[in-house]
Chain A
Amino acid sequence: MSPRRDALTWYAVAFVAFLYGPVLLMPLFSFNDSNFATFPLAGFTTRHYAGMAANISMMEALRNSLTVALGVSAAATALALPAALALTRHRIPGRALVTGFMMLPLVVPSIVLGVALLVILIRILGVQLSLWTVAAGHLVVALPFSLAVLMSRLEGFDPSLEEASGDLGAGGFGTFRRVTLPLALPGVISSLLLAFIISFDEFVISFFLTGTRNTLPVFLFSQLRFPNRLPGTLALGSLILFGSALLVILTEVIRRRGLPADRAGGL
């Protein structure tokens, strides 16, 4: 049977084009031999990519962003895992309320969060703004995502697996190390990647909480005032787009790998 080409098919095509068209213009212009991101294209070049490495402040911002994102990713996952275990494994009174509160940062606008954190850090705690404060802000935003990912993973497997481990002689930590952690691993990896991307991406909170050293999104925003630097940022943007796509594909592959083992465990 040949695929039907009705109105819905065309709608789907238009939908995808609308979603990804603008994003795909970025790599296109990053190879354009011109300082202006306009049609018609002037010719093919890789000089924007070559020039990128020479842009010291941009490289520093990239390094800052990567450092913060790695730290936030590890911290969010490490903090969310015990919380997710507690919320899925024990009959905690007011569990729904606790979960609700933990998920709250998901719905608070980041501009509100940014201002609130700024006030707390400067007025109440008297802390100097730095990459540490940026990371702390990112952690607040990333935690609920990590928690949600880990909780859904931990709820997904048969609790009698952990009971069986205890029955066979393992203590609490032995069960965690030999059963819970390996089974939660796809969730842990998803949480690491998700928190990393959230932090790497985050602009509003970084903008409020950054000190003298910029993260990449804040740096890129500051560069928009200089038209001749635009192709450089387009080149960097394209690389980040490529990297993010790789990460997302990797996450999905790992998640799918986890699935057959789950089905076998469920029965």
Chain B
Amino acid sequence: MRILACFMPATSGRARVAGFDVLEHSLEVRRRIGYLPENIPLYGDMTVVDYLGFVAEVKGVGRAERRRRVGEVLERCLIEEVRGKLLAQLSKGYRQRVGLAQALIGDPEVLILDEPTIGLDPRQIVEIRSLIKSLAGQRTIILSTHILPEVSMVCEGVVIINHGRIVAQGTPEKLTGELSPVARTQVRVAGPAEAVAAALGRVPGVLRVEQATEADGVGVFVVESPRDQDVRAEVARLVAEQGWGLLELRPMGMSLEDIFIRVVAGEEPAAGAPGEAG
């Protein structure tokens, strides 16, 4: 992140942002990015408006436009009510939003956000995420995070990097698809377990049926089928025809956590092992 923002040099390899090398055309790159570092460093003795005014000036926003632009980001990042406060007095959530505001000033083509939701309370996280989502579409947003559900929520493309190497890349759906060729569906049925299992196995398209648990005449089964074939309708019809009770029918998507662990560890994760997001 710091390399992309031209703050640190790369120990090896090259980085380009919007077609400009970060080392050779650092100034051109810096004209096109808005950067939100992980820990947002702010001048504690400045007020929010003064600070944003300064950033606008440094980013080359003309005098005439400055007021409007600052007003715009204040509104956009929901920090109007703290505009006159000193930066040192702001809570973590507000600091984060001021950080986002300073990154947004000057309408950069590329936004680089390093862990934008870390250290926030759940309500603030939701606010920041929706703010980030609202920014998408007009510009490229590069977001680094260790919170994987966040990725599935806000990102369109994912790159997993381990020890400086790209280990997986693509849309979240593509990653899930590539890594596990079969789709798994969890079915909970009230009925004789063995008969149900046998019946499920006969549904066209089903590759394998696995009985997970059984209690009080209710069985939980996991049905595997090719990813491009949806067997849920067939399963539901079958269960209904047999007069059993269909209690639950749920596709078991492979979460990004699973993918992450798998590609980083380079092997299948042990079932039920807690994932360590390094």
Q: Do A and B come from the same complex? A: no
